[in-house]
Amino acid sequence: MTLSSEQLTRIVEAASISRVAREWTHPLYRYPASMSPHIARAIITELSNPGDTILDPFCGGGTTAVEALAQGRRVICSDLNTLACFVTESKAVPLSRDQLAFVQDWVDSITYPVRSYIRVKPAPLVTSDGASYVPRSCGLLLAIRDSIETLGDGKVQRLARLIVLRTGQVCFDCRQRALNPRVLLKAFRSVAHEAIGKMSEYSIQAERSGAHLQGRQAVQVIHTDAENLDVVAGGRLKDVSLVLTSPPYPGMHVLYHRWQFHGRKEVALPYQLLGVRDGASESHYTLGSRLEQKNTTYFRRVNRIFSMLNTRLERGTRIVQLIAFSRPQSQLRRYLDAMRCAGLAGIGLTDTESAISRMVPNRKWYIRTAARSPTRREYILIHESTGRSEG
C-alpha cells in the first residue's frame, strides 16, 4: 500500500521545517539525535487514527510519545537506556493542575541566599580521563535533587527530577568549566518556569485529544533492549497500528549516555542526578561499536530487531524510521538490504534515489569518517510488515 500524494506532500513539508520545536514538553530535555517533532506530528496524523497505538522501540527523548498522546493516540515506548526511559516518561505523562501546583511550591521552596553558597558541600565530578573536579554548583544541584524526596506524589517527583536534570544539562553539558552557584540557581528557576508552563499546555492538549483513550493506559515505557521487546511487551505488539522510531546511527559518535565537560571529557552526571547506575560504554547504546570495520554487528542486530517486529506486528503495519549515516552512499543501501532481509516491504520511498531526506539543523554530535567530515542528512524510510522473513 503506497502513500497518497497528499500524505507524501504533508510529510515532505514537515521535513522541510528547520525551526526548533518549542511546543508541548519537547524543550524540557535535549536528547542527542532527537527526532523532529514536526515530522513525528505529520507522520502520526497522516498514517494513524485517533485511538490507535503507536510503537517506538528506540524512544530516546520521547518525541514519538509526546506527539502521539497530543494527537490522541496511545503509545508503547522502549529503550535500553534508563536515561531515555526516564526522559520519555517525564515528558509524556500529563500532570493535573494540582500536581503542577505542588511542583511550583517545591520550586519556590528552593531558596539559597548568597551567603549560604559557601556552606554548600562541593561534589566530585569525575571525567572520562579520571580527572576530578569539585565545583560547588554541582554540590548545589545535588542538594536541590535531594529535596525532591519530600514530595510524595510520584508524578510530581518525576517532573521535579526532570527540572534538575535539564538544569544540569544547561549548566554542565558542553561547558568548559562549571558555572558558579548563583548562575546555576538562576538557570534552575528559568528551567522550572518553562517546565511547569510547557507541561500545563501539554496536559491540556492531551486531555482535549484523549477522548478515545479511556479505560487503558495511554503511555507505556519499557526499559529493555529492542531485541527482547516481544518477550517483555507480549501480545501488546498486536495492537500497534504504526511504528515510528529513530534507531541508532551506524558509524556515528553519539553520546546518548554522557554529557561533555571541560574540553569534551565525558561525565556520568545525568545518572548521578537521577540516582541510577550506568557503567556501559557508548557501543552498548548504539547496536555496536562505531569503530568496527563495516559495522557488521550493527547491521546484524538491526536486522534481528526488525525481523522480530515484522513477525509480531499485524500484516500491513506501517514502519517509519528516521535515520542518518556516517557514510550514506554505502550504508543506506546496506540498511535497506537489512530491512528487506527482515521481510519488510518498501512502499516506494525506500531506495537511494526516492527516499525522503533532509539536512538537520543545529545537530551536535561528532562523526568519524575516513575524511573526518560530518554529515547531517537524515533519511525517512517507510516500510510495511509482511509477517515473513526473507532471510
Domain boundaries, the chain: 5-92+215-262+279-384, 97-204
Q: Assess whether pLDDT exceeds 80 at residue 370.
A: no
Q: In CATH, which superfamily holds the domain spanning 5-92+215-262+279-384?
A: Vaccinia Virus protein VP39 (3.40.50.150)
The pLDDT confidence band at residue 116, using thresholds 50, 70 and 90, is low
Mean pLDDT within 233-241: 92
Predicted confidence at residue 64, as pLDDT, reads 98
**What is the Cα–Cα distance from 13 to 17, expressed in whole angstroms?**
7
Predicted confidence at residue 14, as pLDDT, reads 93
**193 vs 325, higher pLDDT:** 193
Classify burial at 129, counting beta carbons within 10 Å of its beta carbon; exposed 0-12, middle 13-18, buried 19 or more: exposed
The pLDDT confidence band at residue 369, using thresholds 50, 70 and 90, is very low
Q: Assess whether pLDDT exceeds 60 at residue 362.
A: no
pLDDT in tens, 261-303: 888 889 999 999 998 888 788 899 999 998 898 999 999 999 9
pLDDT in tens, 62-90: 999 999 999 999 999 999 999 999 999 99
Predicted confidence at residue 215, as pLDDT, reads 61
Share of the chain above pLDDT 90, in %: 64
**What is the Cα–Cα distance from 379 to 228, expressed in whole angstroms?**
26
pLDDT in tens, 307-329: 999 999 999 999 999 999 988 88
Q: Compute φ and ψ for 346, nearest 5 degrees.
A: -70, 150
pLDDT in tens, 123-168: 788 888 888 887 888 989 999 999 999 998 999 999 999 999 999 9
* C-alpha distance from residue 371 to each of 361, 367, 375, 389 (Å): 21, 10, 11, 37
* Among 79-83, 329-333, 369-373, the least confident range: 369-373
Mean pLDDT of the chain: 89
Beta strands in 146-218 (DSSP E): none
> Helix, strand, coil % (nearest 5) of the chain?
50, 15, 35
Predicted confidence at residue 366, as pLDDT, reads 46
Q: Assess whether pLDDT exceeds 60 at residue 204.
A: yes
* C-alpha distance from residue 372 to each of 251, 286, 292, 366 (Å): 12, 20, 16, 9
Alpha-carbon torsion angle 35, 196, 155, 168, nearest 10? 70
Which single residue is written with the C-alpha cell 515473513?
388
pLDDT in tens, 24-42: 999 999 998 889 999 999 9
**What is the Cα–Cα distance from 109 to 102, expressed in whole angstroms?**
11
